[in-house]
Structure 1
């Protein structure tokens, strides 16, 4: 993979911005339908991740910031990887620990990489 630009691994700034977009959207939906229930917010966030990752290749935040989730070797992520990745993401700790390639442990665990498009 290239070190910078199109096709490179997404850097923490874009990843955190995409996460903020997705979380803010979940909060807005939670406020509108559940009077801001924190568990509802977490569930909405998780459902959005699980639905959008295999269908569009990224969450709404990822897509808005030009990111795409792929297998390390390329190709579709399948159905089970987004579920396991999201479960690890909501635990927070695996998502905030990166390897030297800037991949979070939640991505390493399922063999995916978030790349710039």
Structure 2
């Protein structure tokens, strides 16, 4: 509920409504249209309050920062997937290389060493 969240964080309910209008928060709603704030919504609110209260960032700046953070998280996921792909491919190539080396070696019967006179 908006009043409980506002009281917990020491802000006015209108502030939460403003953050929602600005697209900074998007709590889900019940059939009766009551806002339901998830743990993720509350973490986002804490970030917004940290940026505005502690760092003095205006709402336009907050929006830019949150969008950049979201893009960075997406890119980090893509990079992780790419690294996993490269590691799989390197493992396959290494296995193929080991097979080629093993198949390239020819076993010879043991022989006695003989000194050759010059």
TM (normalized to structure 2)? 0.28
Higher helix share: 2
Question: Which structure has more RCO (C-alpha within 8 Å, separation ≥ 6)?
Answer: 1
Higher strand share: 1
Larger Rg: 2
TM (normalized to structure 1)? 0.28
